[in-house]
Structure 1
Amino acid sequence: MTDYTKTFRAAAVQAEPVWNNLRGGIDKTIALATEAAKNGAEIIAFPETWIPGYPWFLWLDSVAWQSQFVVPYAQNSLEVGSAEFTRLEDAARSLGIAIALGYSERDHGSLYMGQAHIDKDGTTRITRRKLKPTHVERAHFGEGDGSDVVVVDSELGRVGSLCCWEHIQPLTKYAMFSQDEQLHVAAWPSFSIFEGAVHALGPEVNTAAAQQYAVEGQVFVLSPCGIIGEAAQALFANSEQKRQFLSLGGGHARIYGPDGRSLATPLAQTEEGILYADIDYGAILAAKNAADPVGHYSRPDVFTLQFERARNHKVSPRPAVTAPSLLPDAALAEEAAASSDVELL
């Protein structure tokens, strides 16, 4: 049964990652989580691919030029269940704060845009992958599947996460809303690339997408965001043109309530820090009284969504071939009934 009486303090990060440095990224994650816990937060949310940083090289030059970054990036990506991942679980437990993390996941040599929710007791409730990497990201990252569109129970209620432009996918959003989500993490890399150019990657679109998610789903949205600093430019921008494309700043972290209101004062675009807001799930009920698109404001007689939630297994073992049974027919029937989930009447 969903609890709408819970109140707590939440935090969203706006900071520059420790680029291509797995250990350094985990150290900075724990340092920020420590700061948030001292300030009373019970959850802290981090940007998209916070560890080891968003691969901005994908946007800046040819595939041949990008190749110099591929191996270091993969080497510093995070494996779920590894010793490094366990450090984060231990930190959440010792600090008493939930960690909503964005990271590049390495699995059997392939990379995925991952997110995890680690509860205050150190238990990992969600590990998911971005369902469809955006634009040039598809040259670097694999895809998720239906099992990655998930909302789960946690110590802080019903929580879910999506990355970046998953927030402009109407069907993905509706599938999330249908799972009684209360707290949502909308993770972003930064909004500085190609600043001033005619494109759809700027802060106006992306902050609006996070705000609209809060309104459409009647949920609280933590919207952490990375920034571009001098370290990023030194690593990725080896020309003046690249430095203009990948400009300093781009931080637009936000926290929104279920009525779309901004609950925290934004930081300057170039400023590292943490946004805080007090969460009261009672506000969700007030918002849903006006419009609940998966409840009283829906029209299932007109529109329905087909949602395949199963995980896609790349290798499936063939069923074992057993020898014909020599049991009599009555014994076979009893054996079948005992192994079946269907009650025989």
Structure 2
Amino acid sequence: MTQSQIVKVAAVQLQPVLDSADGTVERVLDEIAAAAADGAQLVVFPETAVPYYPYWSFVMAPMDMGARHRALYDHSPTVPGPVTDAVAAAARTHEIVVVLGVNERDHGTLYNCQLVFDGNGEIALKRRKITPTYHERMVWGQGDGSGLHAVDTAVGRVGALACWEHYNPLARYALMADHEQIHCSQFPGSLVGPIFAEQQEVTLRHHALESGCFVVNATAWLDADQVASVTEDPALQKGLFGGCYTAIIAPDGSHVVAPLLDGPGRLVADIDLSLITKRKRMMDSVGHYARPELLSLRIDRRSHAAQHADAAPGVGAVSEFEEPDHGEPEPYAAYRDAIARSSTG
């Protein structure tokens, strides 16, 4: 008989601090510690949790959003940088895998970035959303396929996609074919209305069934005062409520625990990775149920960087997570204290 392989996972429905990037990061660090205290070995946060999802882009005309877009630039972290150092220290201290969404600043462009920190604090995956959705195209640049793969972590093989990337079946199949065991999905929450939560449920339960994996999904939540700070128009405010669906889903498509649809909070549950084999024994969409001689996927995993310089080994070469010094000021001096606090427990 297959032995159980229990992993305790957590999904955080985070309330961001819209007027303080420092405040949001502090909440992330607190939630990492709280999830670890609950025994969690993996914790997942919402899409672009740091510093916050650009809700204003959904309800403002492009001509009116300049000041808020520039403010997002000012508050968005570089990767690596002080913010990722603080989260890495927390992951290392608590020996917990952290999946965090950030607005990544890379010189003059922002990207919707997903980061997977392994339990030793190292960044196991950095990927950028391949196609920002609708209004998001005014905010973020496009990602590429370099991060479109699963990674081995202390809790198993982890894959990640953001929001409507789940409506790109080939992007999902890329992770399925890479044998993800735990799919970490991130959506904004507090957007569109209740139908958005219903759509997430349909999409993510289907992915669990089709992939034969567990899905851990996290969304954010705004209170009424925060919605009013985004827009004073009552008609537009209606588009900033609902849409929350923080959930943990098994390979048979069932909820491991009841999803969280409103308010800030955290789900914690045990998942048994041996159930993946139970599901795939009957239907393995990238194995015995596949027909690769008829249907297959071609992936371009090259980086779409603006320049590709040839260099001798060790001469001017830059590894994936050792980016050159951008010469930018460090706006996160406060996180030095957070790093020290996490390191000392």
Report the TM-score when normalising by structure 1: 0.86
| Residue 256 of structure 1 pairs with residue 255 of structure 2 | no
Instruction: Give the corresponding residue for 1:111.
Output: 110
Distance 1:89 1:319, change over 3 A: closer
RMSD: 1.8
Superposition map of 1:49-60 within 5 A: 49-60=48-59
Letter in 2 for 1:261: S
Alignment match, 2:343: none
Change (3 A) 1:228 1:316: same
Q: 2:223 matched to 1:224?
A: no
1:271 to 238, 251, 263: 263
2:180 is the counterpart of 1:188 = no
SS state at 1:48 partner: coil
Q: 2:202 aligns with which of 199, 208, 212?
A: 208
1:4–1:281 contact (8 Å) kept in structure 2: no
**Residues 1:172 and 2:171 are matched in the alignment:** yes
Distance 1:262 1:132 in 2: 29
- Amino acid across the alignment from 1:204: E
Unaligned 5+ segments in structure 2 are 313-345
Alpha-carbon separation, structure 2, partners of 1:245 and 1:164? 17
Find the aligned partners of 1:313 and 1:251 in 2 and give their Cα distance.
Answer: 34
5+ residue gaps, structure 1, are 321-345
d(CA) in 2 for partners of 1:172, 1:145: 11
Percentage of matched positions with identical amino acids: 32
Question: For residue 298 of structure 2, what is the amino acid of its counterpart?
Answer: Q
Q: Spell out, residue by residue over 1:30-54, the C-alpha distance to the aligned partner (whole angstroms, 9 max, x if none).
A: 1111111111101110000111111
**1:114 Cα deviation (Å)?**
0.5
State the 1:21 CA deviation: 2.5
In the alignment, which of 208, 221, 233 is matched to residue 239 of structure 1?
233
Which residue does 1:308 correspond to in 2?
300
Higher relative contact order (CA 8 A, sep 6+): 2
Could you tell me how far 1:15 is from its partner in structure 2? 2.3
Counterpart position of 1:123: 122
The structural deviation recorded for 1:231 is 4.2
Whether the 8 Å contact between 2:99 and 2:117 is mirrored in structure 1 is yes
Distance, in Å, in 2 between the alignment partners of 1:232 and 1:132 is 27
Tell me, yes or no, if structure 1 residue 90 matches structure 2 residue 89.
Answer: yes
2:318 — aligned with what? none
* 1:261-300 map, 5 Å: 261-267=254-260, 269-300=261-292
Distance apart, 1:237 and its partner CA? 1.3
Tell me if structure 2 keeps the 8 A contact 1:185–1:223.
yes
Q: Structure 1's 203 and 163: CA in aligned 2 closer, same or farther, altered over 3 A?
A: same
1:252-274 deviations in whole A, cap 9, x for unaligned? 1111011111001223x332110
Decide whether the 8 Å contact of 2:114 with 2:126 is kept in 1: yes
- Mapped to 2, the partners of 1:272 and 1:313 lie a distance apart of 38
How far apart are residue 275 of structure 1 and its match?
0.6
Letter in 2 for 1:143: Q
Report how far residue 191 of structure 1 moved: 4.9
Q: Give the structure 1 partner of residue 147 of structure 2.
A: 148
Aligned partner of residue 281 in structure 2, secondary structure: helix
The answer to whether the 8 Å contact 2:7/2:273 transfers is no
Q: Which moved more, 1:61-70 or 1:175-184?
A: 61-70
Distance of aligned partners of 1:117 and 1:67 in 2 relative to their CA distance in 1, 3 Å threshold: same
Deviation at 1:309, TM superposition (A): 1.4
Cα distance in 2, alignment partners of residues 237 and 229 from structure 1: 13
| CA deviation map 1:266-293 (0-9, x unaligned) | 23x3321101121111000000011111
1:18 aligns with: 17
Q: Distance in 2 between matches of 1:13 and 1:258?
A: 20
Q: Count matched residues.
A: 311
- Provide closer, same or farther for how the CA distance between residues 315 and 117 of structure 1 changes in structure 2, counting only shifts above 3 A: same
Find the structure with the greater CA-based Rg. Answer: 1
Contact 1:111 1:142 in 2 (8 A): yes
1:177-212 deviation line (CA, Å, top 9, x unaligned): 11011011010101542x37xxxx622111211111
In structure 2, relative to structure 1, the CA distance for the partners of 1:70 and 1:301 (3 Å cut) is same
Deviation at 1:25, TM superposition (A): 1.4
SS in 2 for 1:226: coil
Closer/same/farther in 2, CA of residues 145 and 192 from structure 1, 3 Å limit: closer
- In structure 2, what residue type is equivalent to 1:110? T
In the alignment, what sits opposite 1:335? none
Q: Is the 8 A contact 1:131 1:148 kept in 2?
A: no
